[in-house]
């Protein structure tokens, strides 16, 4: 203990010198527009701004920073760090980045915030050590099946990992060693080959993950569990294919995975070491970058996190043990042990953010707005069974859908998840959605007579409810840009059946087909989020909505029913476009 305290006191003296160096050299951190230059500048900077508390809590490191500090300075002063690194567990990892350092007069520096806003993981090498035994193997299988003589050895793959992204990795490799003869002089064919190989590689990779042969890394489950217990939002940001990343996230368990946001694949133009994927997570989740902790395993991942203005903790993996992590806030071999489980808990020490009363009221008003779908649905049931008014039932269902379509925008604008952390608005939304999109259309089947046979009525209703229950509960029902499986549009299915009045055979066939598609992992367009074809999808969607609304105004009018039939053109577009984009790996 005495030796450790002496080391801490020496580090305190060193910190005072470091601050004066910072002030004299006027080093500053550049952000937008020159991320990599800023990182390179930091790498050339002298070791500074490393302070260690000399209190009895020696295990808690405090990284100092002023407004002019560059992020590469966190985790340097290597000699002092090594003295204590063996005594610091992963419990200190997140605490380090967010604990408040004691003031030491004019020379003191502080880094930290009252509370972490998010814990962000890289996927490959962090959640699981997948690069050598999964991704590399999957690439080689895809190459062999295609008849290519390309084989990536373990040593070669370690070098290839310097390029972020699977498609980019193949392109970089063949651009260097020469493209296969079949596509050597054809850039379009080269792109098509890379896309096809990457899709097949992803399928093989997912088979390997689903086989259970690739375990999570030590300490990951504990860290995620503790963070979620403290209501710290968790995200996974990766350059790998989104389907593959989601499959790895599932290894954490259904409950944990359902609360994790995934940002992966081609959702950004530039891959790591560019910060785009982390900036996307920051913007989507409305985070303060300085309050985010990223857990990475590679140098390019570290560069991406730092360029995004986030704190970064390194947990070394198979291919990254010898990489330069001097710019990291802390470096560990893994996150195992009881101390790792305490990391998230320590990270949240300090007072929680306070919000003005009117913002809290506004947040609860948004929740109330979401909940209004419940009385609307109740009145829809009354209209159907008491008033025997099918048109009113459909009108009320439309109103409930409108509420569902608009409450999310309000919730994000007010940031209800942070303002009312004790209230699960997502759970409320799911309850209302299941009633609006599935349960009410199911109970309306016998009441409306869209199916005449009583046994077939029950069959259609049960198929809709059970398949929708599966969709609502599976952790990968949505990706950043798509729905996975038929997205439970049962109210729309019922709408067409009620207006067009097809035969029992057609109705039952439709319900069986769509119920089966709920379990098939085909990706369907998410109209407000799928970037590919979005302008076309949105414009045609507006036209489709108008055509579908015609029977509400002119019930049983032949021309209105004809408009409803014409609206099938959009259904055909939506289905075909989804299948094409999925086949190309775009969604």
Catalytic residues: 122, 124
Three-state secondary-structure class, residue 52:
strand
Residue 471: half-sphere exposure toward Cβ, Cα within 13 Å: 32
Quote the Cα angle for 176-169-183, to 5°.
60
Measured distance CA(81)–CA(264) in Å, rounded: 34
For 136, 163, 176, 315, the CA distances from 171, given in Å and listed in that order, are: 15, 10, 9, 28
Measured distance CA(7)–CA(1) in Å, rounded: 10
Phi and psi at residue 165, in whole multiples of 5°? 95, 135
Phi-psi category of residue 69: left, alpha or beta, with phi > 0 → left and psi -120 to 50 → alpha = beta
Phi and psi at residue 223, in whole multiples of 5°? -65, -45
Phi-psi category of residue 46: left, alpha or beta, with phi > 0 → left and psi -120 to 50 → alpha = beta
Structure letter (DSSP) for residue 478? B
Q: Report the 3 state secondary structure along 363-379.
A: HHHHHHHHHCHHHHHHH
List Cβ neighbours of 508 (8 Å cut-off, separation of 6 or more): 451, 456, 459, 460
Are 412 and 286 a contacting pair, CB within 8 Å?
yes
CA dihedral 322, 324, 327, 332 (to 10 degrees): 0
- Taking alpha carbons only, the member of 238, 291, 240, 241 closest to residue 261 is 238
R_g of the chain computed on alpha carbons: 27
List Cβ neighbours of 198 (8 Å cut-off, separation of 6 or more): 142, 166, 167, 170, 241, 585
Are 277 and 257 a contacting pair, CB within 8 Å?
no
Are 53 and 93 a contacting pair, CB within 8 Å?
no
Residue 444: half-sphere exposure toward Cβ, Cα within 13 Å: 31
Structure token pair of residue 333: 């071999």
Are 14 and 79 a contacting pair, CB within 8 Å?
no
Measured distance CA(216)–CA(210) in Å, rounded: 12
Measured distance CA(237)–CA(235) in Å, rounded: 6
Structure token pair of residue 77: 């002063």
Measured distance CA(269)–CA(171) in Å, rounded: 15
């Amino acid at each position: 203990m005495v030796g450790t305290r002496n080391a801490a006191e020496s580090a305190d003296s060193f910190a005072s010198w470091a601050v004066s160096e910072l002030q004299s050299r006027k080093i500053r951190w550049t952000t937008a527009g020159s991320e990599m230059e800023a990182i390179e500048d930091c790498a050339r900077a002298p070791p500074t701004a490393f302070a260690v508390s000399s209190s009895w809590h020696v295990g808690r490191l405090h990284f100092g920073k002023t407004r002019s500090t560059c992020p590469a300075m966190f985790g340097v002063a290597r000699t002092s760090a090594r003295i204590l690194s063996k005594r610091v567990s992963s419990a200190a990892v997140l605490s380090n980045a967010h604990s408040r350092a004691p003031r030491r007069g004019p020379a003191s520096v502080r880094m930290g915030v009252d509370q972490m806003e998010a814990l962000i993981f890289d996927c490959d090498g962090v959640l699981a050590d997948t690069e050598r035994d999964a991704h590399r193997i999957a690439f080689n299988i895809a190459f062999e099946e295609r008849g290519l003589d390309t084989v990536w050895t373990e040593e070669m793959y370690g070098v290839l990992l310097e390029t972020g992204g699977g498609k980019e990795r193949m392109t970089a490799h063949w651009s260097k060693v020469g493209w296969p003869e079949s596509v050597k002089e054809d850039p379009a064919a080269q792109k098509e080959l890379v896309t096809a190989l990457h899709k097949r590689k992803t399928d093989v990779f997912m088979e390997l993950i689903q086989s259970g042969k690739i375990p999570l890394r030590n300490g990951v489950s504990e860290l995620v569990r503790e963070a979620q217990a403290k209501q710290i939002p968790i995200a996974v940001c990766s350059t790998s294919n989104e389907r593959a990343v989601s499959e790895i996230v599932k290894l954490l368990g259904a409950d944990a995975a359902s609360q994790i946001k995934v940002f992966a694949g081609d959702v950004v133009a530039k891959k790591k070491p560019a910060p785009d994927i982390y900036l996307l997570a920051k913007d989507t989740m409305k985070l303060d970058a300085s309050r985010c902790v990223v857990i990475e395993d590679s140098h390019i991942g570290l560069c991406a996190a730092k360029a995004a203005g986030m704190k970064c903790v390194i947990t070394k993996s198979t291919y990254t043990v010898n990489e330069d992590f001097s710019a990291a806030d802390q470096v560990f071999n893994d996150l195992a042990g009881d101390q790792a489980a305490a990391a998230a808990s320590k990270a949240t020490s300090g007072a929680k953010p306070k919000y003005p009363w009117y913002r809290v009221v506004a947040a609860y008003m948004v929740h109330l707005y979401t909940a209004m779908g419940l009385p609307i649905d109740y009145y829809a049931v009354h209209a159907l069974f008491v008033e025997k008014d099918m048109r009113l039932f459909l009108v009320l269902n439309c109103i409930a859908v409108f509420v569902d379509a608009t409450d999310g925008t309000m919730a994000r604008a007010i940031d209800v998840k942070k303002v009312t952390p004790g209230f699960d608005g997502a759970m409320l939304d799911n309850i209302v959605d299941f009633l609006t999109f599935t349960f009410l259309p199911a109970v309306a089947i016998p009441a409306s007579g869209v199916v005449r046979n009583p046994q077939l009525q029950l069959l259609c209703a049960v198929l809709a409810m059970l398949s929708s229950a599966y969709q609502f509960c599976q952790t990968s029902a949505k990706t950043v840009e798509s729905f996975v499986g038929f997205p439970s549009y049962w109210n729309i299915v019922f709408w067409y059946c009620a207006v067009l009045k097809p035969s029992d055979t057609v109705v039952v066939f439709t319900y069986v087909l769509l119920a089966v598609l709920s379990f098939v992992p085909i990706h369907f367009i998410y109209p407000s989020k799928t970037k590919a074809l979005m302008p076309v999808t949105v414009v045609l969607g507006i036209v489709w909505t108008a055509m579908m609304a015609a029977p509400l105004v002119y019930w049983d009018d032949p021309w209105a029913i004809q408009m409803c039939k014409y609206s099938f053109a959009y259904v055909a577009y939506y289905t075909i476009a989804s299948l094409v984009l999925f086949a190309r790996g775009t969604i």
